[in-house]
């Protein structure tokens, strides 16, 4: 009798200890799954769910909701996830303006947020937060890299971006490293789709190169019209405008364009090969940079979960900060402001044997690059 009791007690204690080890973790994913910007959010979600699935970790529960690219809706969903679903972690937002609406209030409620894209400067400097981890990049990084690379060949660049904060950050980032002269600097309208007027100015400016930051449909329109206009001044852009989600829509107009990114399909490391294969096998398409960043975010979380309990915030934050995971971007570490220290590459758009447009790495613009705001962060 006693022995039976002892045995069952032992069984019970075993059961509880294994429960304690494998406690369920709830991750809230707010991303854009409807409307014109849905492609980015879908890549983000697909890579994230695939990484969780492949890990075989059955204790991770995902709560995924569509923000329709509306800040107010994203705020409402965040409140629901925190107060209603009681999520342990949050991630998923693609756009800077949505991140600015959601992140400050989320981290203030002691919920950890990991950004799989978007790194507004306002969250990287004096307002950095121990609960905010940016697994992607600080918004200026890609532009800084292209500015650095432009020094090699160009002395007189023409630069343009939309007239909003991310656009100004982009051109500031470019100018931070670019040493040559500027033959022109234009701020275009947000959502503008016709660039004939700007292209005419570029043609007339006598520039030796063009750098543009025009996310989404704006960039597709610009690249197509630029190629059609017959202006043959070389173009450079950030990797977003030449990512796998938009390349098919730009077509051959993108061939040969140099662009900067922290990741590329052909980046030579084991984790990346596995990722690209797994993503292609599951979804029958090539992953974009948003998928790569999201895959890293998921693996960072999984790695931290194997080291610490998500209920012990301090221990879990330390585990995240260690960034002890196999990044598809190769070397990856967090700076003091929880933003990445990573290489930034220059890629060129090429056509593969099967006719598919994609990118190939041709140079490294920065090694172990840190963002410009980290020193203002007191962490």
Chain residues in the site for other proteins (CB under 8 A): 33-36, 38-39, 42, 65-66, 68, 70-73, 75-77, 79-80, 83-84, 96-97, 100-101, 104-105, 108, 120, 122, 163-166, 168, 185-191, 193-194, 196-198, 200-201, 204, 216-218, 220-221, 224-225, 228-230, 245-246, 248-251, 253
The CB-of-323 to other proteins minimum distance in angstroms stands at 27
Which CB atom, from 128 or from 304, has the smaller least distance to other proteins? 128
Residues 6+ apart with CB under 8 A from 246: 216, 219, 220
Comparing CB distances to other proteins, the nearer of 170 and 300 is 170
In whole angstroms, how close is the CB of 98 to other proteins at the nearest point?
9
Nearer to other proteins, 72 or 277 (CB): 72
Handedness of CA 308, 312, 317, 318 (dihedral sign): negative
C-alpha torsion sign, points 373, 94, 98, 147: positive
State the minimum distance, in angstroms, from the CB of residue 67 to other proteins.
Answer: 9
Nearest CB to other proteins, comparing residues 13 and 83: 83
Q: How far is the CB of 217 from other proteins (least distance, A)?
A: 4
Pick the closer one to other proteins by CB: 67 or 371: 67
In the complex, the smallest distance separating the C-beta of residue 205 from other proteins, rounded to whole angstroms, is: 10
The encoded tokens of residue 230 equal 């017959």
Residue 142 C-beta-side C-alpha neighbours within 13 Å: 31
Neighbours of 84 (CB within 10 A): 10
- Min CB(107)–other proteins separation in Å: 11
Q: Helix or strand or coil: residue 369?
A: strand
97 vs 336, which CB is nearer to other proteins? 97
110: left (phi over 0), alpha (psi -120 to 50) or beta: left
For residue 333, give the nearest of 325, 145, 55 by alpha carbon.
Answer: 325
Helices (H), 165-269: 165-177, 196-205, 217-229, 247-250
């Amino acid at each position: 009798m006693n022995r039976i009791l002892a045995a069952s007690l032992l069984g019970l204690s075993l059961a509880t200890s294994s429960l304690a080890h494998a406690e369920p973790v709830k991750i809230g994913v707010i991303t854009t799954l409807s409307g014109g910007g849905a492609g980015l959010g879908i890549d983000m979600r697909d890579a994230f769910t695939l990484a969780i699935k492949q890990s075989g970790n059955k204790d991770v529960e995902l709560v995924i909701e569509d923000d329709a690219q509306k800040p107010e809706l994203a705020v409402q969903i965040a409140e629901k996830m925190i107060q209603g679903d009681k999520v342990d972690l949050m991630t998923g937002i693609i756009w800077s303006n949505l991140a600015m609406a959601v992140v400050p209030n989320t981290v203030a409620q002691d919920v950890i947020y990991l950004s799989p894209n978007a790194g507004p400067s306002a969250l990287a400097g004096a307002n950095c937060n121990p609960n905010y981890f940016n697994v992607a990049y600080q918004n200026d990084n890609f532009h800084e890299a292209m500015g650095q690379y432009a020094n090699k060949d160009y002395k007189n660049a023409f630069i343009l971006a939309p007239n909003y904060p991310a656009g100004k950050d982009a051109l500031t980032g470019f100018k931070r490293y670019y040493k040559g002269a500027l033959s022109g600097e234009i701020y275009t309208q947000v959502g503008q789709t016709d660039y004939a007027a700007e292209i005419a100015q570029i043609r007339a400016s006598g520039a030796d190169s063009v750098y543009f930051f025009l996310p989404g449909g704006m960039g597709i329109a610009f690249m197509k019209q630029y190629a059609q206009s017959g202006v043959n001044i070389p173009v450079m852009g950030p990797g977003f405008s030449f990512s796998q989600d938009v390349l098919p829509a730009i077509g051959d107009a993108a061939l040969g364009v140099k662009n900067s990114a922290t990741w590329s399909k052909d980046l030579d490391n084991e984790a990346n090969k596995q990722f690209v294969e797994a993503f292609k096998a599951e979804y029958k398409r090539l992953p974009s940079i948003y998928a790569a960043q999201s895959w890293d975010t998921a693996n960072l979380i999984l790695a931290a979960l194997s080291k610490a309990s998500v209920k012990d915030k301090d221990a879990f934050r330390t585990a995240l900060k260690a960034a002890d995971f196999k990044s598809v971007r190769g070397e990856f570490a967090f700076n003091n402001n929880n933003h990445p220290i990573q290489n930034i590459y220059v890629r060129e758009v090429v056509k593969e044997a099967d006719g598919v447009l994609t990118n190939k790495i041709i140079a490294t613009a920065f090694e172990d690059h840190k963002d410009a705001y980290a020193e203002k962060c007191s962490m």
